[in-house]
Structures are given as structure tokens and as C-alpha cells.
Amino acid sequence: MKTRLLILEDGTVFTGTAFGSDGASQGEVVFTTGMTGYQETLSDPSFYGQIVTLTYPLIGNYGINRDDFESITPAIRGFVVRELSEQPSNWRCDTTVDAYLASQNIPGIEGIDTRKLTRIIRAKGAVRAILTEADAEVNVEEVVATLQSTPLITHHVKEVSPKAAYPSPGRGKRVVLIDFGMKHGILRELNKRDCDVLVVPYNTPAERILAWHPDGIMLSNGPGNPEDVQEGIKTVKNLIGKVPMFGICLGHQIFSLACGAKSFKLPFGHRGGNHPVKDLRTGRTDITSQNHGYAIDIESLKDTDLELTHVALNDGTCEGVRHKNYPIFTVQYHPEASPGPEDSNHLFDEFIEMMENEAAKENQHA
């Protein structure tokens, strides 16, 4: 077994056992608190460019299967666990986490104190780090200097969004899904409701989207800072008032920025499947799945046409908005779960109902 180092930009060094691929990898270290769903986590495009730490201590005990991927190609830079199961046991298991990550050229490290690492991230925020093999040539001071001088990447969405549009046919409502780094769970929920979906790249112009005459538009999740996605903001701004919309995670943030709100970076983000969110309209609290490092500033909503609809009960941050004049709503969390609780899955039904109501209004005026 090879020894591997996780070196943080503050000089902290963790020594553990290597798994997955060989070689070094650099990225931003974040943590997620899910007890299960590690396969969906490592294949979530929202983790692009990040080294993901799992706080639950035993990972890999049910292996990897063909059904639970959220993207075809995982976008994470590294995987950090306390203990990795070498002999998974599940009837759907096709391979191990170790073998899968090796096949995808992603390094992992196990056997380190993930509680200590999580406390560092909670205290200092997400930090840059490198996973590298432990040998005599590793100069920690040089690695730290390199990390501190390396700027954070800003092209996340460009890397995970598709290069061309593609259909996912159905016979129901016609939906254009703008893919900023979509989890396939979102597409599955639309297809489950028989939507006729056209998935388009993040930089597709509004006029091209409207030319397809959609009944509704879905704004997907995705990685990174929403302010970096100027093409998406411009597109959404030109779509407001033209067609019903539903946004999730990064889609929620991009829509809010398009309406004049502001975003900010959270100290260590919301990642996991146990985040309570209150619906201010009904008083209902859902336990939600989340994965984001940025949030919308609630104070900035005052000068917009947006109404705050959901708040996070852990820290009071914005978890959802609704346009005051048009049929558009967005949420910061993941109603499709994948992984996590499905308390808020009903939001997809609300989207379908919203499209049907708008179609009925148009027929009345025809």
C-alpha cells in the first residue's frame, strides 16, 4: 500500500494510504456530511475542481453500481475518507470505489483524521490542497507556496456543461433544460413526468431557446461562483417574463443575479443530505440535499422583483425565491435528492402545474 499526503495551503499535512489512481491532484478541499450516497456525490458535477472529504467514517461498503451515477464522467479532483471498505457487499455492486476511481484517474486517500480536517475547513473555509505521493522529493514548503500562489479556477461551468444540445423525449410539457452542470436526477424527474426535454449548453442564447417554443425552462445545478457565468446570466435575463421557469442550486443563483440580487461565498458551504429548510409560505420544514459554496444575499432581494420563499434553519441563508410578477420560482437545495431525502420532490409537480396554468391562460386569450 502506498503512502499519500494531503497538503493544505496553511501548511497542514495529513498522511494516509493511497487508493484510486496514482499521481498528484490539486483542488479546493470541501466536506460533505451524507451517511450514504457517496457514488452520487463523486459523480455530481457541482464538485468540479474540488477534493471531497466525506465526514461519515466508513465509505464504500455497498460498492459502485451502474444505476446511481449523476454524470457520466466524475468531475472531482480527489476523494478523502476515514476508512475505505475493500470488500463491498450489495446485490447491485459492480465494482469497488478504489477500482472505479482508478479507472477515472482520480486519486483518493484514506486513514486520515477527517474530523480534524473538517474542523479546519469549518474554521478557515474551503482551502486549496494537493494530493501527492509521499516520497523524499516532496518539499512541503514549496508545495504550500505553490498552493497559495495558485488562483482559484473560474471556468467550472464551461468544463461540465455539454458542448451541444441533445433531446430526452417525452409526450408531455416541452421543457428546455439549461445545463450548468446538471445532475441526471433532475432530468429523471422531468422524464418521470413525461416532459419532452431538450438539454442545452450553458451559453445558449435566449432567442435560440425561445425558438423551440418551450412550455417551461429548467435552470440546473452546477459548480462554482455564479458571477463567473455571465453568459448564463444574460440568457436568463432575456428569458424572464417569456416562459415559466424553475431553477435549482446554481440555477437559483444565476436567476437571482439576473434579477439584480447579489451573491456571496459561504464560509464552508452546504453539502450533505440533512439540511433543514423552511418554506415561509406554508411553514413546512423539509430536510434537504444540498451542495453549494455560494448563496444569495437576502438583503439584496429588497431592490428586486423577487420574494424570499425559503430559508435555511441552520444559518438563516436564502434557500428559495419567487418572482413577484412572473411564473418563476427557484430553490437553493436539490428537490431531486440523489442522494438524500425526497421531502421536496413535490416542487417538480408544482413546475408542471405552473406550466399547465400558463398554457390555460394563453388558450383563454387566444
Record the pTM: 0.96
Catalytic-labelled residue, pool 9, 28, 70, 336: 336
Quick one: pLDDT at residue 365? Answer: 74
Give percent of the chain above pLDDT 70.
99
Q: Residue 366 — pLDDT band, cuts 50, 70, 90? A: low
Tens-place pLDDT, residues 78-88: 999 999 999 99
Does the annotation count 227 as an active-site position? no
For residues 219-236, average pLDDT: 98
Catalytic-labelled residue, pool 292, 310, 323, 334: 334
Average pLDDT, the chain: 96
Complete edge-to-edge strand list for the sheet that includes strand 216-219:
166-168, 196-201, 174-179, 216-219, 245-248, 328-331, 318-323, 306-312, 263-279, 285-296
For residues 7-34, average pLDDT: 96
Residues 84 and 70: their CA atoms lie apart, in Å, by: 21
Give percent of the chain above pLDDT 90.
94
- Between these two residues, 362 and 155, which has the higher pLDDT value? 155
Tens-place pLDDT, residues 157-198: 999 999 999 999 999 999 999 999 999 999 999 999 999 999
Does the annotation count 249 as an active-site position? yes
Residues 174 and 82: their CA atoms lie apart, in Å, by: 45
Tens-place pLDDT, residues 301-360: 999 999 999 999 999 999 999 999 999 999 999 999 999 999 999 999 999 999 999 999
| Residue that is written with C-alpha cell 499526503 in the block | 5
Tens-place pLDDT, residues 133-143: 987 688 899 99
What are the backbone dihedrals phi and psi of residue 287, each rounded to the nearest 5 degrees, phi first? -90, 125
Catalytic-labelled residue, pool 195, 249, 259, 318: 249
Q: Residue 263 — pLDDT band, cuts 50, 70, 90? A: very high
Does the annotation count 318 as an active-site position? no
Q: Which three cell numbers stand for residue 365?
A: 386569450
